[in-house]
Amino acid sequence: MTKRIALVTGGTGGIGSAICKKLADDGYQVIAGYYSGGKHEKAQKFQEEMAKEGYEIALAFGNITEWDSCEACVEGIKSDFGTIDVLVNNGGITRDSTLKKMSQDQWVDVINTDLTSVFYMTRMVVNDMINQGYGRIINISSVNGEKGQFGQANYSAAKAGMHGFTKAVAQEVASKGVTVNTISPGYIATSMIMEVPEEIRDGIRKGIPVGRFGTPEDIARVVSFLAHEDAGFITGTNVSANGGQYMH
């Protein structure tokens, strides 16, 4: 049987890497989407490290903030591998600032990278999914899109908007065998969190009822579940994976 094809944007990062590995374990042909400011060497190093661990992860270059680049990325994947069955919109950035100091660029960069990109990439794959009668679209949001966060008006708005997008598109494609869902991770022990001063990390950790930060693998397991063929009755939902930090 031909492997189903999964594209993970931001696939070379901490959470993205874990998602790529888990989907590969599940039997998918996995493609890690990357941009990294055009630094191909970083992605190639990622691919080499994955190979050492026994994973054959393909790479696809694309700037998710540009329509033409997204289109070229997806068309390249279709040419090399076939139609995309699973899209994980995981690419994103932060540009933190209080609103009174936030620049236009800080706002636009985050909205374009974290929200507009989700429209672009989903738009590029959704017609093929509808035509083949099957697809899984999984959008990686954030706990801060659910509850808001001081200094993150741009990020919180983008991540909240992501779930609004999820719910609307889910209704459009539900009868076509395509599901669309959101995952909202809490604080995950990626390099970004671990670089925060220890006393600040401890303060954050104390606010998480399970008593620890999440791991990239925690999020990857949720992706795996939602991507599965048997998850076809779950659509338009948001899975909060935050250790109980925000309950609603």
* Alpha carbon separation from 59 to 128, 129, 181 (Å, rounded): 21, 21, 24
Torsions phi, psi of 120, nearest 5? -55, -55
CA atoms within 13 A on the CB side of 245: 26
- Exposure string (b/e) for 133-164, b if CB count within 10 Å is 16 or more? ebbbbbbbbbbbbbbebeebbbbbbbbbbbbe
Out of 120, 155, 187, 246, the active site residue is: 155
- The whole-angstrom separation of Cα 172 and Cα 119 is 14
Q: Helix 14-25 crosses helix 40-52 at what angle (to 10 degrees)?
A: 40
Told to judge if 155 belongs to the known catalytic residues of this protein, a careful annotator would answer yes
Q: Helix 153-173 crosses helix 104-111 at what angle (to 10 degrees)?
A: 30
As beta bridge partners, residue 152 has 97
- Looking at residue 240, the DSSP 8-state letter turns out to be E
* Cβ contacts of 131 within 8 Å, gap of 6 or more: none
H or E element in which residue 6 lies: strand 5-8
As beta bridge partners, residue 29 has 5
Active site (catalytic) residues: 155
